[in-house]
Structure 1
Amino acid sequence: MLKGLIFDVDETLVYYEGYDHREWYEKWVMPALQERGIELDYETYRKTVTGELPRSYVERFGIDHVEFWKIIDGVNLRYRREMARLGRIKPFPDVGAVGELKKMGLKVAAVSNASQECTEFVLSLFGLGKYFDVVYGKDYSNLDGVKPSPYLVEKALKTLGLKPRETMMVGDSRHDVLAGKRAGMKVVNVTRFGEIEGADYYVNDLWELVGLVRKML
């Protein structure tokens, strides 16, 4: 019996107009790192984000890795505030569907690889926080626990008091699919940017997810 849903946030519920990962890194992050005497090229940074390299890899550049990721997250929050000011963070038009799912009596969580502060900021921008029983951003005590690791998803399951078989993961990316699968859950891929191999269900938008959940209940 389905009792809960765990949602990804960025690119599943909201999007950033004109966002380019490399451009963001070079324009926003690199200057902040250079101020602290850290030279880190985009390719190396990208590998730490995708999990090809551990988050602690940056310690070879002479900085504590927790400190490093706090710098990154501080920059990310500044970026999000600026994008919000410019009206360039947008909710997808179907986000109201999360409220509909909540009305069905499901427990609902949001899990993001962004920091707790960045995640809560974006959800609060559009009044989405009220839909979620729990919101988890990255955990500084386990920085390699971000998706595709199941760590944050399992943390949300524990707080919701649900078993993996009672819950579905909902997201747009390969990281979401892998994290959900590794936690032992069924995964719904919202195909905003194409289908990700390995999901159990595919929906075009969140209203289609509502229809899928209704059938399950």
Structure 2
Amino acid sequence: MLKALIFDVDETLVYYENYDGKEWFEKWGKKEIEKLNVSVDFETYKKMVKGELPRSWVETLGVNHVEFWKAIDKANLEYRKWAAKHGLIKAFPDVDVLKDLKRMGLKMAAVSNASQDCTEFVLELFDLKKYFDVIFGKDYSYLDGAKPSPYLINKVLNALRVSPKEALVVGDSLSDIIAAHRAEVKVVQVMRFGKVEGADYYVKDLRELLYLVRSLMDKDL
């Protein structure tokens, strides 16, 4: 029986208008990295973000990897505050469905590879934080636990005291799908930007998710 929903945040609940990863890195990320007296190019940074290289890889450059990612997250929070001020962060128009899902008695969680501060910032920006029982961003005690690792999903399951068979992950990306399946949780992909193979269910938006959840409430997942 479905008891809990675990939501990705960026590109699932909110999005960033005109955002370009490389542009962000060059304009915002690089200056914070350089304060640590190290140099990392965008392609290497991207490999660490995707999990193709461990986040601790930067230790080979002589910098503490926790300090490195805190610098990245500082730049990310500064960017988000700037983007919010300029109206560039948007909530998808269907996020009001969270209220309906909450009324159904489901436990709700939000997980993100962004920092806790960055994650809570965008949720508070659109008054969405109130819908979630737990919110987990990047964990500095285990940085390689970012999705596609199952670490954050398992952290939610433990916090909400539900089994993998009682939860459903809702996300937009391949890393969401992989993380969910590694935690033995089924996943629904919200196809805002196209279909990603491997999900258990597909919906075009959160309104369609509401119908799916209603159909799953009394069934074994």
TM-score range, shorter chain: over 0.9
30-39 or 44-53, larger mean C-alpha shift: 30-39
Match of 2:164 in 1: 164
**How many Å separate the matches in 1 of 2:197 and 2:38?**
37
Q: In the alignment, residue 44 of structure 2 is paired with which amino acid? A: T
Cα drift, residue 36 of structure 1: 2.9
Secondary structure in 2 aligned to 1:207? Answer: helix
Alignment of 1:11-30 (within 5 A): 11-30=11-30
Matches within 5 A, 1:47-196: 47-196=47-196
Whichever residue aligns with residue 110 of structure 1, its letter is: A
Q: Is the 8 A contact 2:170 2:190 kept in 1?
A: yes
Give 1:32 shift: 1.9
Q: Shift of residue 65 of structure 1? A: 0.2
Identity %: 62
The answer on whether the counterparts of 2:36 and 2:63 sit within 8 Å (CA) in structure 1 is no
Question: Please, which runs of 5 or more residues in structure 1 have no aligned partner?
Answer: none
User: What's the Cα RMSD here?
Assistant: 0.7
Q: CA deviation at 1:100?
A: 0.7
In the TM superposition, what is the alpha-carbon distance from 1:30 to its structure 2 partner? 0.9
Report the AA paired with residue 16 of structure 1: Y
Structure 2 residues without counterparts, runs of 5 or longer: none
TM-score by length of structure 2 reads: 0.97
Runs ≥4 residues deviating over 3 A:
none
Instruction: Tell me the CA shift for residue 34 of structure 1.
Output: 1.9
Q: Give the length in aligned residue pairs.
A: 217
Q: Measure how far apart 1:37 and its partner are.
A: 1.8
Q: Counterpart in 2 of 1:204?
A: 204
SS in 1 for 2:11: coil
Distance across 1 between alignment mates of 2:8 and 2:157: 14
